[in-house]
């Protein structure tokens, strides 16, 4: 691992299945980040999880001893704000309460369910409180011509119990009701990788993406022309690597330095 740390100057690091599982640090992740700091490397965390606001992830990471500032955490919500801010049309958001508060604080034009007919944008972000009503109004918005933005199209995310439904599973239910184009704000979209690259300010050939998901972390990194390291501490095992057409630059069991 140390030879990789010597080779690259900027790191785009996934959270779930790389740094932590169920928000508890995985072995070696703290030491890995401390080594990056010691060696004056740049790093940002790039997660498809949008249950919380970027500053809330920062608080959790710091609480668990993983050093970062809120400027170093990028989620699909940053991409959403960046994408719609200039037009700021009426938006219906189905997301966690924390995230809704954050969107309002950021000045977005967030409307209530009962005004669903006015929505020009629809944001869907999986969360534990997502209800049948949320699904119903989402489908109605889409039928009324609102643009559908998803914080990710991942069908599942890893927990200690196993892989559980993610935003992609909810999007699938909306599309079963009314088919439409989905704008994916999360990885592997090039736009979210661009946010991370711009923040790091390193040359692309000096940046390494670290992730546990071939379809999001590694695919997105490949599409953006950045080297990648797949770690096997989350979603992917060697059997899945062999079956996949998406190839990381490097594979390691974990982040052990």
The residues binding Mg ion (CB under 5 A) are 14, 16-17, 212-213, 234
**Between 175 and 251, CB nearer to Mg ion:** 251
- Nearest approach, Cβ of residue 97 and Mg ion (Å): 24
Question: In degrees rounded to 5, what are phi and psi of residue 120?
Answer: -100, -30
| Host H or E run for residue 73 | strand 73-74
8 Å CB contact between 171 and 124: yes
**Between 142 and 166, CB nearer to Mg ion:** 166
- Nearest approach, Cβ of residue 136 and Mg ion (Å): 30
- Nearest approach, Cβ of residue 188 and Mg ion (Å): 12
**Between 48 and 58, CB nearer to Mg ion:** 48
DSSP letter (8 states) at residue 110: B
**Between 10 and 17, CB nearer to Mg ion:** 17
Alpha helix positions (H), the chain: 2-7, 29-38, 54-63, 76-84, 97-105, 132-143, 167-177, 190-200, 219-223, 238-243
Question: In degrees rounded to 5, what are phi and psi of residue 234?
Answer: -135, -115
- Nearest approach, Cβ of residue 12 and Mg ion (Å): 12
**Between 103 and 196, CB nearer to Mg ion:** 196
- Nearest approach, Cβ of residue 234 and Mg ion (Å): 5
Q: Token digits for 120?
A: 């020009």
The SS3 of residue 250 is strand
């Amino acid at each position: 691992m140390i030879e990789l740390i010597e080779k690259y100057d900027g790191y785009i690091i996934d959270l779930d299945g790389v740094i932590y599982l169920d928000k508890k640090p995985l072995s070696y992740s703290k030491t890995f980040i401390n080594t990056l700091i010691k060696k004056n490397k740049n790093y940002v965390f790039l997660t498809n999880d949008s249950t919380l606001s970027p500053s809330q992830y920062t608080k959790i990471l710091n609480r668990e001893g993983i050093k970062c500032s809120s400027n170093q955490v990028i989620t699909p919500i940053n991409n959403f704000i960046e994408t719609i801010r200039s037009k700021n049309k009426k938006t219906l958001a189905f997301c966690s309460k924390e995230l809704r508060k954050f969107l309002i604080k950021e000045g977005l034009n967030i409307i209530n369910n009962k005004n669903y007919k006015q929505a020009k944008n629809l944001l869907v972000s999986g969360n534990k409180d997502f209800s049948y009503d949320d699904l119903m109004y989402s489908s109605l918005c889409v039928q009324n011509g609102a643009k559908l933005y998803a914080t990710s199209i991942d069908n599942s995310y890893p927990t200690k119990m196993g892989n559980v439904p993610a935003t992609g599973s909810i999007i699938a239910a909306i599309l079963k009701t009314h088919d439409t184009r989905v704008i994916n704000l999360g990885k592997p979209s090039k736009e979210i990788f661009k946010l991370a690259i711009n923040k790091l300010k390193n040359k692309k050939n000096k940046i390494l993406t670290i992730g546990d998901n071939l379809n999001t972390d590694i695919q997105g990194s490949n599409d953006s022309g950045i080297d990648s390291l797949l770690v096997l501490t989350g979603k992917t095992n060697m059997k899945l690597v062999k079956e996949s057409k998406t190839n990381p630059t490097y594979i390691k069991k974990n982040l052990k330095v």
